[in-house]
Every structure is written in structure tokens, then in C-alpha cells.
Structure 1
């Protein structure tokens, strides 16, 4: 008989779903430190990188609460890490990005912009993504100019305007972003 393992954080439950023929449910408790018990009774320890990140989170959260933008950003990146399985929490990462971005932490603002553009961990919000991108561009952050150009070119959160897009691609290029240069050249050919 094949087993379907159901990992539990707090308590056992019974699965209401129908199982394919020849399968059984095996309940496996998973503890907050990332360890669990394998079906054969041996201790299974989660990836050590994830465990180390998990252990760092309380300290990072305290530092963030005290005003450290870098700690807020690191907390968010841990919570958004695709390779983590049991501490990944996209919605929980957004307030940390917002706090760090409000303190002008560039990487936080860029990641928050991507989150708003894609609806990752939050509702898709082109207007907010564009607002942050413009702010970054005004600080001569090339990726902010590039994201603003993409918004204008495609009409994300703003009326589509290829002239504005071309200008922002140009700024992105001027600030050293190759993709901005490539798109500026592409748009020059169609003007």
C-alpha cells in the first residue's frame, strides 16, 4: 500500500477527500523547529538553511520594529524565499517591505513594486507599483525608471503613453540599466 503523508503543525485531523485506490493517509507531526517524524519513526530535520532563517526571524523582527530597514527587508526576503517550505509566507512579507520602503530602502521598494505588479502576497495594484517606481526613478534608481517605463508602455496603472515610456527607458539607460537601453533603442526604431 502507498502512503500519502499529511504534515500537521498543531493537531491531527481526518482527510475528507477521497484517496486513490491503494493509498493510505499517514499523519506526521511537524514541530515549530522544523523537525518531524518520518513514517518509519526516525527524526527528520528540515533543511538547515531554512532552520537557520527561522531562528533568525525573531531577532530580525525585533530589529525591524526598532526601525532597522535592513532587518525589515531581510525578514521579508526570508518570508518570500521560494526554496523554503514551512516558513514561507508571502502575505506576511508585505508589511515588512512597506516599512523598509517607507525608510527609503531601495531593494525593499523594488521588491515591493514587483509584489504589487504581480499580486505576489498582496492584491495586484498597478497604481501603487507605479507610485513607488516613480519615487525610485526620481532618486535616479534605474530599475525604478525601467518599471515606470513598462507601466507607461503597457498602460499599467496609467494611461498608455509610448512617449513617456520612451523617456523613462532613456532615463533607465542613462542610470546604467542595460534593459532600459535596449528598450530605448527598440522604441527609437519605431518612432
Structure 2
């Protein structure tokens, strides 16, 4: 991983959505972790909210934020596990136009180094919809730290070489402009 210091950093506008039936804002350590990490890296917090583990509510909030021009990236935390209430992945996939399959793979590799084969219990996912990047992360602060520190901090930095997600933002919807 290499940062090209000759390039000027471009802050990205990021929304954080916590998915939980039990957490309030005061108890949202995973959301706090993501906000601390993204603002510490120089990005802008565009929105933050908590919704329950309800697929329709998650999809509704994702669609609202995808439609908002001031949001370029959506990070969700929670609901990526295997229980009956874990529906974040299904909600994300309902709105994706394209899935970023390699995000799940890379996240699993990172997790394997921290929690071994328990990494198989996470269904972290990433995708694109309406020119917005979306990433569904597990609900633990440690998993949020791992996803940010090992993957997202680099891919959401336009100075990262050889390539990054930021430089593609203007091109995510170019198919809509073709005749």
C-alpha cells in the first residue's frame, strides 16, 4: 500500500448506519468507532442513524441515503451474522446495482488473522448503487476497526496507489449518460 504524497487528499462524505434492536446512540460503540476513524482520516460525516434489524427499514434508509447527493459512501454496522435477525446483507443486496465481491474476501482474510476460523461467521459485503458505495460491516467495534484500518482507509483515500475507490466516484454512473 502506497500513498502518493504529491496528490491532494479529497475528503469523502460518509454516512454511518447502525443496525440494532438494542443499541441507542449512547451505546453505539461500533458507530462511534467508524465515526472516529473516518473523521480522523479527514473525511466528512454526512449522516448518522440507528435502525432496527428490519429488512424493510434498512432498505428504506439505504435508498434515502443513496438518493442524497451529499452522501458518497454508506457504512452500516450490525446484522451481518447468521441469526434470524441478521438481515443487513439481504437489505444491502436488495439495493446493489453491483456487488464488490472482493470486499468480503479481503475482509475475511483480515478477520482470519484476528479471530481465526470464526471469521466464517461474518457476511460482510460491499456494493454500489446510484453512484454510492455501500459496505455492510459486523456489529463489533473490533470488526469495524479492522474493516476501516485494513481496507477502507486505503480505498477511500484518493492518494492510494495503484488505485482506489475515490477516483472512480465520478464514473460510477457513466452508463446513464451513454446514448
Q: Give the TM-score category using the shorter length.
A: under 0.3
Report which of the two has the higher share of strand.
2
Larger Rg: 1
Greater relative contact order structure (CA < 8 Å, 6+ sep): 2
Q: Compute the TM-score of the two structures, normalised by the length of structure 2.
A: 0.25
